[in-house]
Amino acid sequence: MLKKVIKKDGRIEPFIKEKIIVSVVKTGANVQVARKIADKIEKHPKEDISTGLIRKNVLEELKLHNPDWPKRWYNYDKNIKRLHKYGLR
């Protein structure tokens, strides 16, 4: 069965591994590390996974690879969401 993502506002979307890969690469990780992290999230036992749980797991994995990457991820996430919120992207 296909994994689904439960968004903060309650919407449900299909799980798209590439979204995780892109955000992880934006932190400075190489594509192999990003794919490894995304694969791990995809294999999570829950079929419906919240964005909060995805974020928590991604940040834990990033920290294992490089302690600076979680900070970079927060900056990327904050700036991209701000742009979308105000229709600047």
Nearby residues of 66 by Cβ (< 8 Å), 6 or more positions away: 28, 29
Query: pLDDT for 20-30, tens place per residue?
Result: 999 899 889 99
- What does the domain layout of the chain look like in residue ranges? 4-85
Global pTM value: 0.81
Residues 64/73/48/2 CA torsion (nearest 10 deg): -90
pLDDT of residue 37 exceeding 90, the answer is yes
